[in-house]
Amino acid sequence: MTDRTVTLAHLFPELLNLYADQGNISVLRHRMHARGWTLSVTPVKLGSRVDFGSVDMVLLGGGSDREQQLVGRELAIYREDFATAIEAGLPVLAVCGGYQLLGEYYELQSGERIPGLGLLAVTTRAGKGRLIGNIAIEWVSQNGESDGKTIVGFENHAGRTFHDYAPLGRVLKGHGNNGRDHHEGLQYKGVVGTYIHGPLLPKNPHLADHLLAKALAFKGCHEPLDALDDALEWRAHRSVLGMLGVKSGEIRA
């Protein structure tokens, strides 16, 4: 194999950049680089085409309500190709607004529905008050099994999200998708949707590597990822668990 490049399409960065997506990209880039790979990031501005055939991974970040409405208007051109790629297993990381955008609509307090990409059967309604604060979840795999790994970060969303897919995990402390069913996020094939930012990946290196392994597999490369020195990342991870009063014995990194 000569081509050791993974291509990440960063969708609509001019609109969806509210929660430090550069942090997530920086983590992916460094962790690829440390394994002798290059992460090539293609920013895709709203309105320009994406060749999903040449993309190994997609990042959708979060935006403000105003910006999300702007995005909503011009999504139709992406729907078909994006949906096909997701069915084929394309890894997608969708955070906050990007997570909502994967779904069918975002319903405002007024009842008005802002259309989403309509890729997954996910709906979001604006609730009274924002769900804000540090959050910790137990990561549950798509077949419902858990080996006790945690994911930590910060959430800040007015939207309450509902779906019947596997969640990313079970809420240990915080609100999650809707503050009611103790589920956080979504997993479907290669898609990970979540409200957790902070940003998401720096303090969750296991999740970063999970996404990178999926991107490599999607590319047809099944080499295992070398372990990196993540002592600092795990200290930061554990300090958030500590703040939330979640016992760090639950982590098996």
Secondary structure (3-state) at 143: coil
Binding-site member from 91, 118, 174, 202 for other proteins (CB under 8 A): 202
Judged by CB under 8 A, which of 34, 76, 77, 232 binds other proteins? 232
Is residue 209 within the footprint of other proteins (CB under 8 A)? no
Least spacing, CB of residue 157 vs other proteins, in Å: 10
Give yes or no for residue 14 binding other proteins (CB under 8 A): yes
Q: How far is the CB of 18 from other proteins (least distance, A)?
A: 6
Exactly one of 10, 183, 197, 237 is catalytic; name it.
197
Our finding on whether 141 is near other proteins (CB under 8 A) is: no
**Residue from 70, 213, 221, 244 binding other proteins (CB under 8 A):** 70
Q: Which residues, in sequence order, are CB contacts of 236 under 8 Å at separation 6+?
A: 202, 203
* Residue 239 engages other proteins in binding (rule: CB under 8 A): yes
Positive or negative torsion for Cα 181, 153, 188, 224: negative
CB 18 within 8 A of CB 63: yes
d(CA 120, CA 103): 5
Q: Judged by CB, which is closer to other proteins: 138, or 233?
A: 233
Phi, psi of 219 (to 5 degrees): -80, -15
Q: With binding defined as CB under 8 A, does residue 112 bind other proteins? A: no
Q: How many of the other CB atoms lie within 10 Å of CB of 58?
A: 26
157 in catalytic set: no
Return d(Cα 182, Cα 211) in angstroms, integer.
23
Tell whether residue 138 is a contact of other proteins (CB under 8 A): no
Burial 12-25 (b: 16+ CB within 10 A, else e): bbebbbbbbbebbb
Q: 96 or 172, CB closer to other proteins?
A: 96
Q: Does 96 participate in catalysis according to the annotation?
A: yes
Binding positions for other proteins, 116-135, rule CB under 8 A: 130, 132-134
Options 96, 183, 206, 237, the catalytic residue: 96
Alpha-carbon span 196 to 132, nearest angstrom: 10
User: Which residues pair with residue 39 across a beta bridge?
Assistant: 6
Q: Point out the residues that are catalytic.
A: 96, 197
Binding site for other proteins (CB under 8 A): 14, 17-20, 22-23, 26-27, 30, 45, 64-67, 70, 130, 132-134, 154, 156, 158, 197-199, 202-203, 229, 232-233, 235-236, 239, 243
